């Protein structure tokens, strides 16, 4: 996987002045566009679109210092107007292109190279488990995408669950962990820039069909799951574990993400200081190309 990521970085460098094809990206890395971009976001700390924009502006910066005209540089790197280029350039480095040309101000954004960085000797505990098809029954809501901290929209969803709904969910729950699951799916394209929304369901795993009008049901197809237990302050430990599954475990695991919702659960015991959680990542063996 790291080799494919570095091949992609080379492809991007060769095509900074051209349209970068999502189809070609998927071909190089061997993942769907959605799953690759999600993994890239966790590994790189920014969206792929943001990375490409930063590389283009960095190279444009060098050309401006070397005497290129602002108009030529703007159109060369895909901007439809001088105003649009100037605005993006200023947001990126704090200066207008004309100021850079005049004062030879330079800001760089180097090309990324991916490699395995082993830190601290801390291993990730996980297990691979096959789960038969099951249902999740609960309540759902479109919520803002948020990577860190407590998502207030999810908190409001949890608080909106009625006593009747809670009792109905408990009646149906007949699968591990026999308690509330958090399920995320249907991400907007802005996921990687922490923009847009996703659908979040709070519910229970069950083999039964939902008979209740005030609950919703989604079906989870049979799949392999990588399960990552973690314990510590909530929600920081859970969120850090999720990020590490994408940035550290997945690239060298021999697996890729299956097209199913992400699932987690947390055993709340009245304190947020030392909470047990699990992250469930749907996976499949990486296809040989």
* Per-residue model confidence as pLDDT tens digits over 8-61: 889 999 999 998 887 888 888 887 776 777 778 777 778 888 889 999 999 999
The CA R_g of the chain, rounded to the nearest whole Å, is 23
The model's pTM: 0.64
> Is there a single domain that holds both residue 134 and residue 271?
yes
Burial of 11 (0-12, 13-18, 19+ CB in 10 A): middle
- Of 150 and 97, the structure prediction assigns the larger pLDDT to 97
- Of 193 and 83, the structure prediction assigns the larger pLDDT to 83
Is 113 within the bounds of a domain? no
DSSP 8-class letter at 57: H
Neighbour count for residue 210 (Cβ, 10 Å): 19
pLDDT of residue 235: 85
Q: How many domains does the chain have?
A: 2
> Is there a single domain that holds both residue 136 and residue 187?
yes
> Is there a single domain that holds both residue 95 and residue 211?
no
> Is there a single domain that holds both residue 180 and residue 263?
yes
Q: Highest mean pLDDT range out of 21-25, 42-46, 77-81, 249-253? A: 77-81
> Is there a single domain that holds both residue 162 and residue 92?
no
8 Å CB contact between 64 and 97: yes
Domain with 215, as residue range(s), is 127-285
Is 121 within the bounds of a domain? no
3-state secondary structure of 158: helix
CATH of the domain at 191: 3.20.80.10
Q: Is the pLDDT of residue 122 over 60?
A: no
> Is there a single domain that holds both residue 251 and residue 158?
yes
> Is there a single domain that holds both residue 241 and residue 150?
yes
Average pLDDT over residues 104-125: 65
Is 120 within the bounds of a domain? no
> Is there a single domain that holds both residue 134 and residue 96?
no
| Residue at a domain's end among 103, 137, 171 | 103
pLDDT of residue 72: 95
Average pLDDT over residues 60-88: 93
> Is there a single domain that holds both residue 94 and residue 156?
no
> Is there a single domain that holds both residue 137 and residue 96?
no
8 Å CB contact between 189 and 145: no
Is 108 within the bounds of a domain? no
Give the Cα separation of 55 and 65 in Å (integer): 16
């Amino acid at each position: 996987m790291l080799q494919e990521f570095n091949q992609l970085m080379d492809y991007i460098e060769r095509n900074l002045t051209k349209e970068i094809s999502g189809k070609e990206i998927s071909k190089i890395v061997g993942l769907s566009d959605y799953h690759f971009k999600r993994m890239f976001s966790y590994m790189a700390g920014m969206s792929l679109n943001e990375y490409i924009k930063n590389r283009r502006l960095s190279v444009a910066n060098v050309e401006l210092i070397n005497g290129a005209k602002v108009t030529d540089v703007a159109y060369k790197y895909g901007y439809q107007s001088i105003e649009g280029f100037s605005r993006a350039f200023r947001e990126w480095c704090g200066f207008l292109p004309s100021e850079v040309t005049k004062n030879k101000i330079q800001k760089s954004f180097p090309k990324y190279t991916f490699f395995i960085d082993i830190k601290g000797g801390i291993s990730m505990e996980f297990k691979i488990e096959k789960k038969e098809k099951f249902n999740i029954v609960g309540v759902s809501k479109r919520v803002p995408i948020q990577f860190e901290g407590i998502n207030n929209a999810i908190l409001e969803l949890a608080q909106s669950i009625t006593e009747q709904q809670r009792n109905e969910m408990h009646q149906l729950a007949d699968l591990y962990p026999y308690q509330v699951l958090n399920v995320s799916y249907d991400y907007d394209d802005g996921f990687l820039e922490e923009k847009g929304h996703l659908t979040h369901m709070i519910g229970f795993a069950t083999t039964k069909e939902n008979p209740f009008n005030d609950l919703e049901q989604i079906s989870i197809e049979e799949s392999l799951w990588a399960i990552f237990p973690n314990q510590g302050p909530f929600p920081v430990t859970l969120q850090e574990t999720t990020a590490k599954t994408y940035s550290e475990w997945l690239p060298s695991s021999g697996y890729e993400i299956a097209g199913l919702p992400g699932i987690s659960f947390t055993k709340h015991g009245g304190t947020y200081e030392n909470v047990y959680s699990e992250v469930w990542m749907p996976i499949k063996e990486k296809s040989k190309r």
